[in-house]
Amino acid sequence: MTPPRAVSAAFLAFLFMILFSDTAAEIAREDFPTTLRLERAIPRRGVEIEHLKARDLARDLARRKNGRRLSVVGVVDFPVDGSANPFTVGLYFTRVKLGNPAKEFYVQIDTGSDILWVACSPCDGCPTSSGLNIRMEFFDPEKSSTASKITCGDDRCTSALQTGESICTTSESSSSLCDYTFQYGDGSGTSGYYVADMLYFDTITGDEQAINSSATIVFGCSNTQSGDLTKADRAVDGIFGFGQHDLSVVSQLSSLGVSPKVFSHCLKGSDNGGGILVLGQIAEPGIVYTPLVPSQPHYNLNLESIAVNGQTLAIDSSVFATSTTQGTIIDSGTTLAYLADQAYDPFVNAIVSSVPKSASAFVSKGNQCFVTSDSADSVFPSVTLTFMGGAVMLLKPEDYLLQQGNVDNAIIWCIGWQKNQGQGISILGDLVLKDKIFVYDLANQRIGWSDYDCSSSVNVTMSSGKNEYLNAGQLDVSGSSHTASRFIFVLVHIVYILTFLLHR
């Protein structure tokens, strides 16, 4: 028979082994820096503002859902590359894996459209190389064992017909391919047909597990491209539409039970760019929300006023009212920012009036510019956008200015916001969206934002109403308090058992 003290020592060693093996595994998971951000240095190259003005504008696409329902709702993570700097990249993009065997595609992150589409083989006008140092790919549904082409007789095509996102005609048979043609504001366009195939992604669930997941989704197979989409300087494989209609990936994965109907991004404003993009709700202090304008094809917000240096501009509120020809749109697919015609001149005049005479003002190619040797924050005023419900977006000078170059020891700054000539639409593009958390809460029809260092990690809630958070910088649910509590619990029981054995 083993003596009591020997029993206690062996039992104690056993308990410590259980405690530390389990707890150490959790600590290792918490400390291991598995980031969600993909960052890549991009070669610098110059681009005329006029070219960006011609290229930018809101994109308007589509609808519909399909696929099998999954049993778990979690946060879906996508890597982010690119930057808001129009003189380096001027767009943000991510990677998606499609088909079987899976192929990886680089696609622009675009909240101004709804459809995910990639270049397909064969393709007329599609670039085969990119100045962004990425490898271009082509999707071939004939070489994917899980791909199926959507036909005109498919319910998903019928739904797309109702919203103008399909061009099937009554003369075509039900077995004809469900085609589409998308035109963008810069005159570029793409056409092709819809396919259904596997999308692969990483899902983080409420039990702290990272799962390699997949789901069947519908996306566009582009076989013709035109305009700027054909240019190789900043070419990508396609566009990832994050709109709220049924055919967007956000809506499709939500309807399948894969992820909540909310997505968030935090786009780094530095030249190296990158950031965070998740299907889930970033939950950080200070996020303010304003309701979405209902029944709109884009993410329209009710902008109520603009203030420069705390002084509200004398702009009639009707200028910001939402209609088919007016309104304010949040669009990550636009590089710069555009103000409605009647709001632009009061805005620029207020900036000019607020800048001290030490900064020389001049106009270059229609853009208001300044030369100063002082820091931007000390020279230029702050700008405040106020939205419905009192939600305020405070903008720093770097949110409306572009650094155009240097003269001796002075910097040339130009106003990067452009006049939407003859139009009542205002578009807040990457110049404004960078260095901020943005939450698109589609389930509750609202958008929220907060200033943030997008190189830092964030907490992401799994679903509305739960207190489970994901550290998006470390791919882990916040479990430090849970781990500590369990450590204390087991330690107390060790002391209790040891005391009992020693006093038998």
pTM: 0.79
Distance of alpha carbon 383 from alpha carbon 431, whole angstroms: 13
What local confidence, expressed as pLDDT, does residue 74 receive? 78
| Separation of alpha carbons 119 and 115, rounded Å | 13
DSSP 313-374: P---GGGG--SSSEEEEE-TT-SSEEEEHHHHHHHHHHHHHHS-TTSEEEEETTEEEEEESS
Residue-level pLDDT at 173: 73
* Residue located via tokens 């935090």: 266
Which distant-in-sequence residues (6+ apart) come within 8 Å of 371 by Cβ? 359, 360, 362, 407, 410, 411, 412, 413
Q: How many CB atoms lie within 10 A of CB 473?
A: 17
- pLDDT 10s digits, 142-193: 999 999 999 988 888 876 765 667 778 666 677 889 999 988 877 889 999 9
Q: What's residue 444's pLDDT?
A: 96
* Residue 194: Cβ within 10 Å count: 28
In this predicted structure, the answer to whether residue 25 has a pLDDT above a threshold of 60 is no
* Residue range 389-437, pLDDT digits in tens: 999 999 999 999 999 989 888 999 999 999 999 999 999 999 999 999 9
| Predicted local distance difference test score (pLDDT) of residue 156 | 83
Q: What are the CA-CA distances from residue 194 to residues 59, 112, 173, 341, 498 (Å)?
A: 18, 20, 16, 37, 68
**CA 168: distance to chain centroid?**
31
Residue among 200, 230, 4 nearest 103 (CA): 200
Q: What is the per-residue pLDDT across 198-248, written as a single tens digit (0 to 9) for each?
A: 999 988 776 666 788 899 999 999 999 999 999 999 899 999 999 988 889
Spell 16-38 as b/e; 16+ CB within 10 A means b: eeebeeeeeebeebbeeeeebbb
For residues 442 and 281, is the Cβ–Cβ distance under 8 A?
A: no
Q: Strand, helix or coil at 98?
A: strand
Give the per-residue pLDDT at 171. 60
Model pLDDT, residue 494: 43
How many Cβ atoms are within 10 Å of 341's Cβ, its own excluded? 16
Q: Which of 82, 44, 39, 43 is nearest to 405 (CA)?
A: 44
Q: What span, in angstroms and rounded, lies between the C-alpha atoms of 198 and 409?
A: 54
Alpha-carbon distance 82 to 124, whole Å?
26
- Residues annotated as catalytic are 110, 331
- CA-closest candidate to residue 328, choices 437, 435, 432: 432
Distance (Å, whole) CA 417 – CA 426:
10
Determine the pLDDT at residue 183: 85
pLDDT at 359: 94
Convert the pLDDT of each residue in 241-296 to its tens digit.
999 888 899 999 999 988 899 999 999 998 889 999 999 999 999 999 999 999 99
Asked if residue 330 has pLDDT above 60, the reply is: yes
Amino acid at 75: V
Q: What is the rounded average pLDDT for all residues in the chain? A: 80
- Looking at the DSSP bridge assignments, the partners of residue 281 are 461
Decide which of 353 and 36 is more confident: 353
